[in-house]
Chains A and B, each alone.
Chain A
Amino acid sequence: MSGHHQLAGTTLRSRTADAVANDRLRTNVARAVDRFATHRREGLGELEDPDGLRSAARALKQQVLADLPGLLERFADQVLARGGHVCWAPTADDARSYVVDVVRRHGATRVAKSKSMATEEIDLNTALEAAGAQVVETDLGEWIIQLADETPSHIIAPALHRDRHQIHDLFVDTVGAEPALGTEPTELVGFARGRLREVFLAADVGITGANIAVAETGSIVLVTNEGNGRLVTSLPPVHVVVLGMERLAADWAQAELLLALLARSATGQRLSSYTNIVTGTRGDGEVDGATELHVVILDNGRSQLLAGEYHEMLACIRCGACLNVCPVYRQVGGHAYGWVYPGPMGSVLTPLLAHGQPEAAELAGASTLCGACMDACPVQIPLQDLLLSLRRRKAEGAGAAERAAWAAWAAAWSDARRYGATTRLATWGRIVAPLAGRLPVGRSWGAGRTVPRPAARRFRDRWREGM
């Protein structure tokens, strides 16, 4: 497994086939998502009318998106007024260049990162390393996959595909842990705490994402359980935020409602251990905090989604609830999705944001359209409808064979007589059913399942005969 996403050069089918053949992975994934999903139900169960709150959250996100340019201006002005620098980054390259420039200007070699999917999306770490910086991920799960040179398999629990023995061995192999280190979670976490404490204290630059950016006050809200978000924003003298342009709330009333739903949807907690609100730089008389703040506002394809069929996907608050209820994700884990964002939200975002990668389009097929994700989403994104839209978009570029097959089907079945003729053939097909196994479609079905046989007399035959 390489540290780079597997989208290019592989197919969704090959990635999912590999994943389901990995029993250990499936066990780990099922255990993780079941726990999250159960806790989510319990957490939301403590709220009166959680569906009403979800509906209100959907509505407020609609308001934010409708007013996004104005809110971004307000947010930026507030950040500037508090002494923070703002970079408008239309492309991934603009964002990378700016951050690399900041790091270079400080002669920085040690960068501590708090988990940020936006930075993964633009592959920021590679650019920083090329510029001579040593980048250490500080979220425990992210550190684990960084050491393993892997990509995250879940947006809340990036290393859930690894169990304690695998993590122990990784620490021994890559960062010199004593083989005698136990495999109890407390020992593994204790080891990581010690190592990463050194990183926090020595870092020149801290880089984070943001869960919510509040326009009213120019604040960044960073939610973590581990405390690495606080450490990365308190100890290094320079703090860089990479912010997806859509992650805004207009004011604190909106931000508070989102926070009321975020932790409960993700892990079932009432609130995460640390809801960290950063506004501007270190205050006079304060002993810590960054003295220099940079907020990089990233577009990278998001603005193109506004107002169109995929508009509502921009409401996503990256909670992971959809992953935890997805029956497909459950079987294949995150790597099968091939890119930064897995599960239902990844099946929608990957074709939309991974522009220029033709393999991205088939992600829309990584779903049975069961709808469980829509029921779980705290902002009620109509994921199923977005997937269907993406499938229509993909079908426009479909190959001649597939188009011809559907056209032939439609020609036959758009008329009762032709439908009758072709389905009568199917009943003759009872005799030749074994031959159907030779067709690609038949092979795909038949590898692991018996092939159903058409009935000798169809329902309509029996109806005609009198029922």
Chain B
Amino acid sequence: MAGRAVTGTEHGDRAGFLAPARELLSGGIHANPVHAPPPTPLPSDPVPEARYLNLDPGDLVTTFADAVAHAEGVCHVVEGDVPDRLLDRIVNELDGRSDTSVVVSAEPEARAVGDRLAARGLRVAPATPATAAAAGLGVTSATAAIAATGSIVLDSRRAGGRVGSLLPSVHLCVVPVNRLFATPAEVLRRLGSGADALPPSLVVVTGPSRTGDIEQLLTLGAHGPTALHVVLVTDGQRGS
């Protein structure tokens, strides 16, 4: 990681902490006689991947759009670029609200939308804790989108931070279709094996913030955004 060569410090006694565990494990592990565990996989056996009945491998775009809606998000599938009518709609919705400012992440897709919104008269600023806390809308892109679950993956290194997608009550995420993957496994299982170290924060976002803590009734907008709009930008061809 650029510029960060500092190692953390260790407290307590590592060897002493692990000694009891090592001791007990050296004697072999008790196997339940009635409900026996499955045979231990060999190191070479892959961990099975889930297969999703709602996934149409031939039409990831529709799968994704449906899944975003299932998770209480809104998905707009557009061709080429974020359309003007969508930006106009956003401007209209923000107009008249007390928190009419917009923050954008460092991602080029987000900056581009930000510029167009500024041209329409909105206050647009780069996302920081201060600006995002006062904003009604946060615009970001995503490092990936996941069709089977309707998720977007936010990378703090790409975005320059996290608050843009977290503090404003509406989150708009613009992601090109060439970053749409079929399953979480395709995105998550390659973490750590690539050349790039993981960013400080990688968040798989699936719908807006919610809680069921009041009588198990779904209420959106607990602490994070109340609404999530995902704009999936295609190049005119459905599928990946």
On whether the two chains bind one another, the answer is: yes
Chain A residues within CB distance 8 Å of chain B:
28, 31-32, 35-36, 45-49, 52-53, 55-56, 58-60, 62-63, 65-66, 68-69, 72-73, 76, 79-90, 94, 98, 138-141, 144, 157-160, 163-164, 167, 185-186, 188-190, 192-193, 196-197, 200-201, 214, 216-217, 219, 225-228, 230-231, 233-235, 245, 251-257, 259-260, 267, 269-289, 293, 297, 299, 303-304, 306-309, 311-312, 374, 380, 382, 384-385
- Majority secondary structure, B binding face: loop
Interface assignment of B108: CB less than 8 Å from any CB of chain A? no
Q: Which residue of B lies closest to A290 (CB)?
A: B200
User: Measured between C-beta atoms, what is the minimum distance from B15 to chain A in Å?
Assistant: 9
Name the A residues within 8 Å of B126 (CB-CB): 287
Cα separation A140 to B157 with both chains bound (whole Å): 29
Chain A residues with CB below 8 A from B215, complex form: 28, 31, 163-164, 185
Partner of A160, one of B12, B157, B200, B216: B216
Q: Which of B181-211 contact A (CB under 8 A)?
A: 184-185, 188-193, 197-211
Interfacial chain B residues near A72, Cβ < 8 Å: 18
Asked whether B10 lies within 8 Å of A273 as measured between CB atoms, the reply is no
Q: With A277-B202, A382-B35 in contact, is A87–B12 under 8 Å at CB? A: yes
* Shortest beta-carbon distance from B125 to chain A in Å: 11
In the complex, what's the smallest C-beta–C-beta distance from B108 to chain A, in angstroms?
A: 15
Identify the closest chain B residue to A382 (Cβ): B35
Across the interface, do A188 and B6 meet the contact criterion of CB distance under 8 Å?
A: no
**A382 and B162 in contact (CB under 8 A), knowing A79-B8, A144-B213?**
no
Q: How far is the CA of A304 from the CA of B54 in the complex (A)?
A: 43
Which chain A residues border B119 with CB–CB below 8 Å? Answer: none
CA A34 – CA B124 in complex, angstroms? Answer: 46
- 5 tightest A-B contacts by CB? A227-B224, A88-B12, A226-B222, A287-B161, A88-B17
> Which residue on chain A has the smallest CB distance to residue B163?
A288
Check B204–A73 contact: CB distance below 8 A. Answer: no
Interchain CA distance A190-B216 in the complex, whole Å: 16
Asked if B25 and A59 make an inter-chain contact with CB atoms under 8 angstroms apart, the answer reads: no
User: Is B98's beta carbon under 8 Å from chain A?
Assistant: no
B48 A48 Cβ-Cβ under 8 A: no
With A53-B50, A58-B37, A85-B8 as contacts: A230 and B192 at CB distance below 8 Å: no
Give A256 to B217 CA distance when docked, in angstroms: 28
Instruction: Decide if B219 touches A214 in the complex (CB within 8 Å).
Output: no
Task: Say whether B35 contacts A385, CB under 8 Å.
Answer: yes
Name 20 extra pairs, CB < 8 A, besides A253-B46, A286-B160.
A47-B50, A48-B51, A48-B53, A85-B9, A86-B10, A88-B16, A160-B216, A197-B133, A252-B189, A270-B70, A282-B200, A283-B1, A286-B156, A287-B127, A287-B160, A289-B162, A289-B200, A297-B17, A309-B30, A311-B29
